[in-house]
Structure 1
Amino acid sequence: MRFKLENGIPREMISCHMGRVEGYMIEGQIPAADIRRLLQERPDAFGFSIPGTP
């Protein structure tokens, strides 16, 4: 939990799994297709989150 908070994940967006992929923070059970799209499009964003997944 501390690692997530220290890396900028807001408490209300914290979920079960976390990863850092090419500079983006990935939080929750994000489908692989959505991660590939994120990496292809490279939006000006901090990351991707699906909060509250078990």
Structure 2
Amino acid sequence: MITDRWQKSSYCQEGDACVHISTGPDGVHLTDTDSDAAQTIVTVSHAAFAALLKSL
């Protein structure tokens, strides 16, 4: 289930395409401002997202 609480990336500049993130019990959801959020959402497990952050 996707939550209604999306958070915009802190690296986003005004007018730029921005990454938005939302978390829920089923995983971490990512989208960007250039896409239709209802159509383009990537969902990954919490563990996969944690591994991505660790690698960055």
TM-score (normalised: structure 2): 0.29
TM-score (norm 1): 0.29
User: Per residue, is there more strand in 1 or in 2?
Assistant: 2
Structure ID, larger Rg: 2
Higher helix share: 1
